């Protein structure tokens, strides 16, 4: 569903888009300033698609709870050529952590999960390490757990549940003492997902659907299931030595809580706006997720519980970047401006963060001139 933008009255089509294949640019312009903003967004997206040789790109902007821009361009599949649309699904990479964090917050809010209890209280299958690990430490990347090694990214084994997926890393030693310093670990978030499953008594994927996706109407957000690929999922691609090729097929059952979800740019901005406005969490719980963690020596980190802090367009933002096999993504919220921006593409590219900055600057520059 695209809500009010179905009644769109403005479609901007740039010549360069026709070279790549283009979906409708869907937006509603109510004045000249907004039309200039749309043109700025469209030009930025087209340049990014061409310069970084992306197969496809999907972006969305939400301002004060209203979807003001949504665009999908390029090819979701290159052969046979299938144009990207706003409802094309892309891998979200580590934005999955932010999605998972909201269900974690709800369980904490309900008293079903103690962030400071040892993880073995919920998941006794996870070995006791040299130092205790809590869910809070794992969610804030302070657990000392390792991150992926190169051999870990291309997973071909299917795990029936997030509990079984612990087998991939549970015997590996800690990289450092928990709490000592921020050490990014997607495995830490896979452990969080296992804790959530046990604390709730519900399968992790069912839990996410019931607590987050369904209540927020995120009809295009779901786990990537290798046994039943979604017909609207973009084909992931890899760029190697100037060539764009299909990467190895992976099974994301090893990483659902940390990197295993599919979504659209429109769903992601709706999600970000709902969290910002505390529509699905109490403000206290949202602020818990959005509070910078501290090391055992008292130093602040640049991470909350499933959320990163950054500067976007020169302004304070909170959100998450995402990168996985054949995918790059970003979801950023500027609370002071009530602005949410999301973008997804079906290849790996280092240029995504500057592109998101461009979108934000486009929007704010035009808005400030109104």
Report pLDDT digits (tens) over 333-356: 999 999 999 999 999 999 999 999
Least confident piece of the model among 12-16, 101-105, 229-233:
12-16
Answer whether 123's CB lies under 8 Å from 194's CB.
yes
Say what angle helices 186-200 and 95-109 make with each other, to 10 degrees.
Answer: 30
pLDDT band for 57, please (50, 70, 90 cuts).
very high
* pLDDT class of 234 with cuts at 50, 70, 90: very high
Contact yes or no for 56/73 (Cβ under 8 A): yes
Structural domains in the chain plus CATH codes: 1-88+351-370 (no CATH), 91-328 (3.40.710.10)
pLDDT at 186: 97
Calpha distance 264→140 (Å, rounded): 26
256-275 pLDDT per residue, tens: 999 999 999 999 999 999 99
pLDDT higher than 50, residue 27: no
Instruction: Give me the pLDDT at residue 36, please.
Output: 64
4 pLDDT above the threshold of 60: no
pLDDT of residue 26: 43
What is the overall mean pLDDT for the chain?
89
pLDDT digits (tens, 9 = 90+) for 289-319: 999 999 999 999 999 999 999 999 889 999 9
Q: For residue 145, which of 191, 188, 194 has the smallest C-alpha distance?
A: 188
CA–chain centroid gap for 215, Å, is 18
Q: How far is CA 368 from CA 309, 311, 364, in A?
A: 24, 19, 6
For the segment 84-95, what is each residue's pLDDT rounded down to a tens digit? 999 999 999 999
pLDDT attached to residue 190: 98
Can you tell me the mean pLDDT for 181-188? Answer: 98
Nearest Cα to Cα of residue 239 among 78, 83, 363, 127: 78
Among residues 96, 56, 58, 47, the alpha carbon closest in space to that of 74 is found at 56
Helix or strand run (H / E) with residue 329: strand 327-334
The two structure tokens encoding residue 48: 């990014």
The label of the residue with tokens 């949504």 reads: 70
Q: Are 320 and 90 in contact (CB under 8 A)?
A: no
Distance of CA 138 to the CA centre of its chain: 18
Residue 35 pLDDT class (50, 70, 90 cuts): low
Report residue 159's pLDDT band, with 50, 70 and 90 as the boundaries: very high
Give yes or no for residue 25 having a pLDDT over 60. Answer: no
d(CA 26, CA 150): 40
Q: What is the DSSP letter of 321?
A: E
- Rounded CA separation 68/364 (Å): 13
> Does 48 have pLDDT greater than 70?
yes
Other Cβ atoms closer than 10 A to 359: 26
Tell whether the model's pLDDT for residue 7 goes beyond 90.
no
Q: What percent of the chain has pLDDT over 90?
A: 81
* Secondary structure class of 327 (helix, strand, coil): strand
- Alpha-carbon distances of 217 from 81, 213, 280, 338, rounded to whole Å: 30, 6, 11, 20
In which order are the strands placed within the sheet that holds 222-223? 90-91, 261-263, 222-223
Confidence check: pLDDT of 14 > 90: no
What is the spatial distance between Cα 115 and Cα 112, in angstroms, rounded to a whole number? 10
Share of the chain above pLDDT 70, in %: 89
Q: Which of 226, 287, 289, 290 is nearest to 254 (CA)?
A: 226
């Amino acid at each position: 569903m695209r809500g009010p933008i179905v009644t769109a009255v403005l479609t901007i089509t740039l010549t360069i888009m026709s070279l790549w294949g283009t979906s409708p640019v869907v937006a509603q312009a109510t004045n000249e300033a907004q039309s200039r903003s749309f043109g700025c967004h469209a030009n930025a997206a087209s340049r990014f698609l061409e310069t970084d040789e992306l197969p496809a790109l999907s972006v969305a902007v939400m301002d004060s709870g209203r979807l003001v821009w949504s665009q999908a361009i390029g090819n979701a599949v290159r052969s046979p050529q299938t144009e990207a649309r706003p409802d094309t699904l892309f891998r979200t990479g580590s934005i999955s952590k932010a999605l998972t964090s909201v269900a974690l917050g709800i369980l904490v809010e309900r008293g079903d999960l103690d962030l400071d209890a040892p993880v073995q209280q919920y998941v006794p299958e996870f070995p006791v390490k040299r130092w205790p690990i809590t869910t809070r430490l794992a969610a804030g990347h302070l657990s000392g757990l390792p991150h992926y090694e190169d051999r870990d990214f291309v997973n071909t084994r299917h795990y029936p549940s997030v509990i079984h997926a612990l087998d991939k890393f549970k015997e590996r030693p800690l990289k450092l003492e928990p709490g000592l310093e921020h050490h990014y670990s997607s495995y830490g978030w896979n452990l969080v997902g296992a804790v959530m499953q046990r604390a709730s008594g519900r399968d992790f994927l069912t839990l996410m659907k019931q607590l987050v996706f369904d209540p927020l109407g995120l009809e295009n957000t779901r786990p990537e299931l290798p046994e039943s690929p979604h017909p609207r999922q973009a084909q992931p691609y890899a760029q190697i030595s100037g060539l764009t090729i299909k990467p190895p097929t992976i099974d994301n059952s090893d990483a659902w809580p940390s990197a295993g979800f599919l979504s659209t740019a429109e769903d992601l901005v709706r999600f970000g706006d709902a969290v910002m406005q505390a529509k699905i969490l109490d403000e206290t719980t949202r602020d818990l997720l959005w509070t910078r963690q501290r090391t055992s020596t008292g130093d602040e980190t640049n991470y909350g519980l499933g959320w990163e802090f950054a500067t976007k367009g020169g302004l304070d933002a909170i959100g998450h970047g995402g990168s996985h096999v054949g995918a790059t993504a970003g979801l950023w919220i500027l609370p002071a401006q009530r602005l949410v921006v999301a973008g997804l593409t079906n290849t790996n590219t280092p240029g995504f963060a500057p592109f998101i900055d461009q979108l934000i600057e486009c929007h704010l520059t035009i808005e400030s001139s109104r």
